[in-house]
A and B are shown apart, each in its own frame.
Chain A
C-alpha cells in the first residue's frame, strides 16, 4: 500500500466532505427573530463566549433555543436570536457582543415594526420598540406609505452597524413589507 497516496486521498476527502452550506437560500428572519450571518463561526465550543455575550442582551427571549435565546448554527454560520414579543433587536449591541466573542458579523436579517417617515427622497422607518431609525433601501421602498405603521423585513450590512452614529439612520435593504 502506498502510504503517501492514502494520506493525500484522506486530505482530499476531508476537504471535499466539508461542503459549505452558507450560500444556499434567501435568509428571512421569522417573527420575533433576528438572524446574523457571521464569518468564522464553525465551532460552537469556540463560540461559547459570543453566545454568553449575546445571552446577556435584555431584548432576547431566554425561553427559546436552550434557554438563552441564542441559536448558533455552525454549518450555515448563522446566529438566530429569539426576541421578546414587542421588542426589536439592537443591532449595535449584537454587533459588539459578537465581535468581543471573537467573530466577525457580516449581515443582519431583521424584522422591524415602526412608522414610516419621509425625509426628502429617503424613506425612514422608526422602530416602535427600540427607537432605532432605518433608512429603507431597495426597489420597493417607494411603495411605503408615509405615516403608516409598517412591518419591514430586510438586510442590514454589518459595516453600517459598525459605523453607526447616534442620530444617523442605519441603511436597510428591504425584502418585504406589510402595512397596518
Chain B
C-alpha cells in the first residue's frame, strides 16, 4: 500500500485541472426538472480482516475483523433545478471481532442508523453540446441511530457537512468532482469521530445509448479520497487516510437506473492500529418521476 502513495498528488492534480461529473445518478443527474422526485435503494457493504498499523499490515493473532452492511433508502425532491432536498436513511447491520482482556470477542449491532438531510443548491450551464453544474450542499446528520449495545449503529452526535461539487457532461463523457467536509460532534458513551475531509471523483464514458428506448449504459471509474481526524469509538482510535478506487457500472432505461460499484482500498494510513476498511461493494436501483 505504501507504493500507491504517490498516486495521491496525481488524483488531486486531476481534480484541480480537469473537467468534472456523475456520482449518484438519481441524486445528482436526475431529477433536474421542476417538482421532480426520486428514490433509490442502495446496499453498501465493506469489511476486512486485515490489521493495519499506520499504512503497514501487521499480524492479526486474534483475527480482528469488521463486516458492515448498510441498506440506504435515499429520496430526493427537486423544487426547481437549482434547489433540491435529499434524505438518506440507513439501515445498518454490522459485526466485528475485537480483543478484550486478551481474548477475541464478537460484537454486532443492527438497526436504523443516522439519517442525513441535505439541501443541494445548484447552478446549471447548458451549452450547445454539454451541460455542467456546480453545487453547494449543506447537510446535517441526525443522531437517529441507537447508541446502545456493544457495536452501536449510531454515535449519538449531530454532525454538520458541507460539499462543493462540479460536474460536466457531454453525450459520451461524464465527470463529477465532490469535495466535502463533515464536522462531527461529540457523541454518547465517549464516542467522538474525527472530522472528515473527502474528495470523490467519477469519470465515465457513455458507450451505449438507444434514443428510442431511452436506454443506455455508463462505465465509470470512481476514486474516493478520505482524511479523517483522529477520533475515538468504543473500541479505540479511529481516523486516518485512505484512497479507494474501482469501476462503476450504470444501466438506465427511462426513469429507472441500476448502479453497481466496486472500490478497492489502494492506500490506507490509519492512526494507531485498526482493521482496514477493506473493499467496498455498492449495488442500487433508483427511480425518478
| A interface, CB within 8 angstroms of B | 3-4, 7, 11, 14-15, 17-18, 20, 22-23, 38-46, 48-53, 65-66, 71-75, 77, 100-104, 106
Contact = CB atoms under 8 A, between A and B. Distances in A.
Given A18-B129, A48-B255, A77-B129, 8 more contacts: A14-B203, A22-B128, A38-B126, A39-B126, A43-B174, A45-B255, A48-B254, A103-B126
Contact of B7 (A3, A42, A71, A75): A3
Given A44-B209, A44-B216, A14 B173 contact: yes
A48 B287 CA distance: 11
Contacts of B128: 20, 22-23, 39, 77, 106
Contact of A45 (B7, B29, B173, B211): B29
B216 A46 contact: no
Contacts of B172: 14, 17-18
Interface of A (DSSP majority class): mixed
B127 interface: yes
A42 B29 contact: no
Most chain A CB within 10 A, of B7, B170, B216, is at: B170
A42 B170 contact: yes
A53 B33 contact: yes
B279 to A, nearest CB: 22
Interface of B: 6-7, 10, 13-14, 18, 25, 29-34, 36, 81, 124-131, 169-174, 203, 205-206, 209, 211-214, 216, 252, 254-255, 257, 288
Contacts of A45: 25, 29-30, 214, 216, 252, 255, 257
A71 B29 contact: no
A15 B124 contact: no
B211 A46 contact: no
A4 B131 CA distance: 27
Nearest to B209: A74
A43 B33 contact: no
B222 to A, nearest CB: 15
A20 B7 contact: no
B10 A40 contact: no
Contact of A102 (B6, B81, B214, B216): B81
A41 B124 CA distance: 12
Contact of A48 (B6, B13, B30, B203): B30
B131 A42 contact: yes
A49 B173 contact: no
Contact of B30 (A11, A39, A46, A66): A46
Contacts of A43: 29, 131, 169, 171, 174, 206
A14 to B, nearest CB: 5
Contact of A71 (B10, B18, B25, B211): B211
12 contacts: A4-B10, A17-B172, A17-B173, A20-B128, A22-B128, A22-B129, A39-B128, A44-B209, A45-B214, A49-B34, A49-B288, A102-B34
